[in-house]
Amino acid sequence: MTRITRPWRRRHVLAGMAGALSAGLASAGRAAPSGQPVRVGSTLSLTGPLAQTGIVHKIAGEIAVELINSRNGLLGRPVEWVLLDDQSKPEVTRSLYEKLITVDKVELITGPYATAPILSAMGVAQRYQKLFLQSSMGIPKHLTYEMAFPATPFGPEPNKSYPKVVLDAMAGTPTPPKSIAILTSKFPSAQFMAEGTRDVAKERGLNVALYLEYEFGTRDFGAIAARVKDANADFLWLGALGLDSNLLLEAMKKLDYTPKRHFHLYPAPGPLALSPDGDLALSSTFLEPAPPFTDRADVPQLAAMYKERATKANVPYAELDAQGAGMYSQWQLLEQAVNGAKSLDDKVLAQWLKKNGADTVFGKQRFDGAFNHGEPGQMVRQVQNKKWVVVWPTQFAPPGVKLIAP
Amino acid sequence: MTAQRTISGAGVAAGVGLLALLPLAGLPAFYDSFLYMIFYWISLATSWAILSGFAGYFSFGHAAFFGAGMYTTATLSTKFGVPFLVTLPAAAAVAAALAFGIGAVVFRLKRLRGELFALLTLAVSFVVATIILNTAIDGGAGVLTSSVSVPRLMPTPSGTIYLLGLIMCVGTLAITYAIAHSRLGLGLFAIHDDEDVAEVKGIPTFRYKLIAFAVSAAIAGAVGGVHAIYVGFLTVSETFGISVPLYVVLMSVLGGARHWLGPAVGAAIIAASLYAFTSGEQAMIGRGIVAFILVVAILILPEGIVPSLRRWWQRRQSRRAAPPAMADAPGIATVTAPREAGATVANLHPPTRVVLEVGDVHKAFGGLHALRGVTLDIREGEILGLVGPNGSGKTTLINVITGHFPLTSGSIRLDGMEIGNLAAHEIAARGVARTYQIPRPFTHLTVLDNVALAAAFGAADLGRAASLVEARRWLDFTGLRAKENVLPADLNLHERKFLELARALAARPRLLLLDEVLSGLNPAEIDRAIGMIREIRAQGTTIVFVEHLMRAVVELCDRIAVLNEGALFALGEAGAVMRDPRVVSIYLGKAHAA
């Protein structure tokens, strides 16, 4: 078990030495939390196939716990994060949440990463009537538990809302696309979004020149690239996971084909941004470590601390992005609910969140819609000069940055 | 012994009963869940071993059957509203039907043994996953099963899942125990060691493999049905991933795949170790330690934990026990064949009734014609010598008679009934037994089990207890009784030759085919073997005696058939044939014949 209580003081000092962060961590004026720690349990995929993203959540979660403890903890008590490794297995996730609740007797829980572990853990939370916060579940309709809350603003129907954002961005360019090719991995959340994009594209009168699903784990994109080239659509929408994007772009390059515009749902951000093929690639995001997001409370500190630790941990893409921010947001929800409701009672906390929402790194979040989801907050980002920048909606783009549409 | 078994049975039943009541003990629900995971892996690993451990058909496709069960339960319960418990037999049936279909094709092809079978089963997993992924069964979106109503068998949901896992586990172990101690199990163990010999010894190998595959898959399917509810959300990539087949193989190998309890021990150790290092801080180190321990354990105990412990225990017991009171020490057996009630000693007059008719038999291997129209009668009670130079077709003829090779053309009739188109095990059941020129014992079975197996599956068709009695009689006869508990690898060449003889005799054959049983023996051993063969014939057994040692051929045989270049060259009374200049010429050259 990871118990983050004592180390936080040392890390606090280290973090304070990180230049601009020190202001945010200056807690001299506040009372340090004391007494028995509030034990918060969760699992993350620290080994197994999801471990690459699991480490991102771990780093962000550790920062969140340190910062909460640097303030006033929860109800004046320090937070102890009891973190277990679910090994990327839903069945292990389930039993470890049962362990956290019935053996370790944690007072609160937060959710794991990825759809299947989240749904396994949610079942346990529901049986024990625990507040359940998670940040990476892209299919809200499965979150049927009344005390489950999203820490990332997907909105209740991201399959409808997000395609609108992406296609709005395209429609706002001087030469809006008239045709679209949609490819997607047969991964539940990606496929869910691809189907929504197809529907919205048709509603808007776009010609869906190609709709193709490929198996999760596909590595040879030669034949798929040929289909994309044949379709030669104005806009390529790719429900990609991880390195799918790079592999597909490379395969198309071998066919002397470069898509005019290309969007990638969940790519590996570093490899795509740094690849020559990834220039001007579009992708989804909720936050980037740049203005105007850095005007929000906690974001500058979080971004700097995250970058430092992610670099140290050899995370391939050391910039804060939606995954790390989502984990941090989970803890923000917990902190605000506990301190706002002045309670550790799960039902009271759920009612408080439902009523008040929370101010997170993603902005103000409300939970008054279907499946406890509020307004969607998806944005479009683009690789420009080998960096991701938000380009749509335009009010979230950094000064001087615009969507480049070849 | 019976009382002891009754007490043991009662103890096991009481233990299972207590385990079933565990959820009522008020322990934290995690233990229900943790133990469920142990039961889950025990059931999967043990079910895998029924085919792959016992029969040696290594499968990497267990996820296909497990996944078929998961999706059957998920589909029936979420899309058709079928009660959860009703879906479990359906999950088992779908998985069993899948295995049956695959096995019915694959098990007929000899070339699909070993690694090709492993690769094929892995491919089956991919095919099943692709079908499920690209149809309405999943379609890529996953199936949410967390809302499926599960009957309250216990006060808590985790207790109910625990109980279902326990039932699956106990059921699986009971089925596997029963198989391991049955004719089916004995047959599967023999298939593991040498499938061709097993078939010739009377084991219906195709049917046995098919049964084992279907039972193995059915259990995996039912376990998958329960697990579909446990995980709450199914995706094709997680269900049909490589982790299930890899884990079950690892667990079985660690515990000992050939023992009914081995996979359970391996599964319990590995499944528990999954929870030994779940700390967020030491996750990677913990997994590394577990992997290292497993590698070391497998290196030290290559046969697995349970067989190694069993062997250690047997050695310890045998050291403590007094030396067995044997009638005969090895090599000094009294040459007296056991006689069955009613068995008649053959009269010494020339036999006349034909037992086996070989009619115009041809056997070709591609362009090579090993047998070219051999026609031969074998008479009841005689010893027919089958001689000829190397490559003349003697062993091929034996292989054809016993069904080891199919005929290219011609007919073979046993007691007037055509057997040329029968499977080898059916021919064995009709009373044809053979030895191998190079002994081919079942290497993982003891000397006693090697012989008992022949008694159980040959023409004798005896039950387990009777087959052991029969086996010991023939071990006495061949002087191997003192070595009944050793493995064939611990025998020397002449003992292995006599083991071949013993297991051929234990089948109580009407026709015994001895293929160079004397080769490699010293003169004293040859004399002893000749005495044994006389004794066997004296009981009325008809013998075909393939041998190069002419002294023995002349001493023993009533008639001699000479094969040359795949054709019958000469046939007749022993002395006359051996004096035939043409026969001498093919053995020694024309100068000697002249």
pLDDT of residue B476: 94
Picking from B146, B150, B282 by the largest number of A CB atoms within 10 A of its own CB, the best residue to mutate is: B146
Which of A4, A186, A216, A219 best tests the B interface by mutation, with the highest count of B CBs <10 A? Answer: A186
Greatest alpha-carbon span in chain B: 98
Under a CB-based contact definition with an 8 Å cutoff, are residues B209 and B187 in contact?
no
For residues B113 and A317, the model is more confident at A317
Mean pLDDT calculated for residue range A110-127: 94
Indicate the helix (H) or strand (E) that contains B590.
helix B590-593
State the Cα–Cα distance between residues A196 and A179, nearest whole angstrom. Answer: 16
In this structure, are residues A383 and A153 in contact, taking their beta carbons and an 8 Å threshold?
Answer: no
pLDDT tens for each residue of B410-452: 999 999 999 999 999 999 999 999 999 899 999 999 999 999 9
Query: Taking CB atoms and an 8 Å limit, are B40 and A91 in contact across chains?
Result: yes
Out of B45-54, B141-150, B295-304, B530-539, pick the least confident: B295-304
Tokens standing for residue A157:
């129907």
What is residue A291's predicted lDDT score, i.e. its pLDDT?
93
What are the beta bridge partners of residue A82? A41
Chain B residues near any Cβ of chain A (below 8 Å): 28-34, 36-37, 40, 130, 133, 139-142, 144, 146-147, 156-158, 227, 230-233, 235-238, 243, 274-275, 277-281, 283-284, 286-287
Q: Is B292 left (phi over 0), alpha (psi -120 to 50) or beta?
A: alpha
Look over chain B and give the mean of its residue pLDDT values, rounded to a whole number.
89
Instruction: Take residue A88 and report the two structure tokens written for it.
Output: 């990327």
Predicted pLDDT of residue B342: 40
Nearest to B511 by CA among B546, B553, B547, B541: B541
What distance in Å separates residue B236's CA from the closest CA in chain A?
9
Distance from CA of B269 to the nearest CA of A (A): 16
| β-pair type (B354-365, B368-379) | antiparallel
pLDDT value of residue B10: 87
Q: According to the model, what pLDDT value does residue B192 have?
A: 95
How buried is A31 (Cβ within 10 angstroms: 0-12 exposed, 13-18 middle, 19+ buried)?
exposed
Q: What digits encode the pLDDT tens for the residues B272-297?
A: 888 878 877 777 787 788 788 888 88
CATH of domain A158-285+380-396: 3.40.50.2300
Cβ contact A152:A362 at 8 Å: yes
Q: Read off the DSSP letter of residue A397.
A: S
Cβ pair A120:B231 closer than 8 A = yes
Number of CB atoms found within 10 A of residue B555's CB: 15
Query: Which residue, B341, B286, B350, B367, is CA-closest to B558?
Result: B350
Question: ipTM of this complex > 0.90?
Answer: no
Q: CB-based contacts of B536: which residues, under 8 Å, 6+ apart? A: B337, B505, B512, B543
- Nearest CA-CA distance, residue A228 and chain B, Å: 20
Characterize B197-231 residue by residue with b for buried, 16 or more Cβ atoms within 10 angstroms of its Cβ, and e for exposed: bbbbbbbbbbebbbbbbbbbbbbbbbbbbbbbbbb
Bridge partners of residue B562, in order along the sequence: B387, B570
Whether the domain at A7-153+295-375 and the domain at A158-285+380-396 fall into the same CATH topology: yes
Residue B98 neighbours by CB distance under 10 Å: 23
Please answer yes or no on whether B37 and A91 come within 8 Å at the CB atom.
yes
* Record: contact A85-B144, CB cut-off 8 A: no
Q: Where are the domains of chain A?
A: 7-153+295-375, 158-285+380-396
Q: Kindly state the average pLDDT of the residues A166-192.
A: 94
What gap in Å lies between CA A354 and CA A346, rounded to an integer? 12
Which range (A25-29, B54-58, B107-111) has the least confidence?
A25-29
Cis ω before A188 (30° cut-off from 0): no
Mean pLDDT, residues A1-12? 43
Residue A27 pLDDT > 80 = no
Q: Which residues contact A86 (CB under 8 A, 6 or more apart)?
A: A43, A44, A45, A46, A92, A93, A96, A112, A117, B278
CB B242 within 8 A of CB B89: no
Measure in Å the smallest separation between the Cα of B400 and chain A Cα atoms. 50
What pLDDT was estimated at residue B315? 80
CA distance A367 to A358: 9
Chain B hits for A101, Cβ within 8 Å: 29-30
- Which of the 8 DSSP states describes residue A186? S
Output B403 or A13, whichever has higher pLDDT.
B403
* Structure tokens given for B364: 């070709």
The C-alpha atoms of residue B5 and residue B263 are separated, in whole angstroms, by 23
- Least Cα separation, residue A41 to chain B (angstroms): 11
Return the beta strands (E) in B194-260 as ranges: 233-234
Dihedral class, residue A386 (left if φ above 0, else alpha if ψ from -120 to 50, else beta): left
Query: Exposed (0-12), middle (13-18) or buried (19+): which is B350, by Cβ within 10 Å?
Result: exposed
Indicate the residue of B141, B236, B284 with minimum beta-carbon distance to A47: B284
The full DSSP string for B479-536 is T-GGGTTS-GGGS-HHHHHHHHHHHHHHT--SEEEEESTTTT--HHHHHHHHHHHHHH
Contact A188 B280 (CB under 8 A): no
Chain B residues with beta carbon closer than 8 angstroms to that of A217: 237
Domain-wise residue ranges, chain B: 29-242, 354-431+510-593
Closest partner residue to A84 (CB to CB) among B31, B232, B280 is B280
Alpha carbon distance A218, A205 (integer Å)? 31
Tell whether the torsion through CA atoms of B314, B316, B321 and B322 is positive or negative. Answer: positive
Contacts of A115 in chain B (CB under 8 A): 142, 233, 235
For residue A21, pLDDT beyond 70: no
Kind plus residue range of the DSSP H or E element containing A85: strand A79-85
Minimum Cα–Cα distance from B272: chain A residue = A92
Give the model confidence (pLDDT) of B338-373 as tens digits.
544 444 434 444 557 899 999 999 999 988 899 999
Is there a contact between B140 and A58 if contact means CB atoms under 8 Å apart? no
Return the half-sphere exposure (C-beta side, CA atoms, 13 A cut-off) of residue B216: 32
Do the bridges between strand A379-384 and strand A387-392 make them parallel or antiparallel, or are there none, so unpaired?
antiparallel
Bridge partner list, B572: B560
Bridge-based pairing state of the strands A282-285 and A379-384? antiparallel
Q: Pick from B557, B212, B233, B547: which is nearest to B390 by CA?
A: B547
Interchain contact, B237 vs A217, CB within 8 Å: yes
Confidence band for B576, pLDDT divided at 50, 70 and 90: confident
DSSP letter, residue B323: P
Q: Which of B4-18, B210-224, B327-341, B513-527 holds the top average pLDDT?
A: B210-224
- SS3 of A244, please? helix
* Whether residue B122 has pLDDT greater than 50: yes
Taking CA–CA distances from A115, the nearest residue in chain B reads: B233
Per CATH, the number for A7-153+295-375 is 3.40.50.2300
Spatial contact of B252 and B306, defined as CB atoms under 8 Å apart: no
Tokens of A54: 């699991």
Q: CA A351, A356, A359: angle at the middle one, nearest 5?
A: 125
Nearest Cβ partner of A191 from B140, B157, B287? B140
The pLDDT value recorded for residue A16 is 36
- CA distance linking residue B75 with residue B137, whole number of Å: 7
- Measured distance CA(A77)–CA(B244) in Å, rounded: 43
Question: What 3-state DSSP class applies to A80?
Answer: strand
- What backbone phi and psi angles, to 5 degrees, belong to A215? -75, 145
- Give the pLDDT band of residue B113 (cuts 50, 70, 90): confident
In CATH, what class is B354-431+510-593? alpha beta
Contact A90 B157 (CB under 8 A): no
Q: What is the pLDDT of residue A231?
A: 96
Contact (CB, 8 A) for A271 and A316 = yes
Q: What is the pLDDT of residue A395?
A: 94
Find, in chain A, the residue whose alpha carbon is nearest to that of B144.
A142
Contact between A115 and B142 using a beta-carbon 8 Å cutoff: yes
pLDDT for residue B1: 55
Quick one: A37 exposed, middle or buried, by C-beta within 10 A (0-12, 13-18, 19+)?
buried
- As given in the structure block, the two tokens for residue B270 are 């590995």
Which helix (H) or strand (E) segment is B411 a member of?
A: strand B409-414
- Per-residue pLDDT reduced to its tens digit, A326-357: 999 999 999 999 999 999 999 999 999 999 99
CA distance B186 to B181: 7
Give the DSSP H/E element, type plus range, for residue A184: strand A179-185
| Cα-based angle B421, B425, B430 (whole degrees, multiple of 5) | 80
Question: What pLDDT shows up at residue B298?
Answer: 80
Inspect the interface and report whether the beta carbons of A188 and B133 lie closer than 8 Å: no
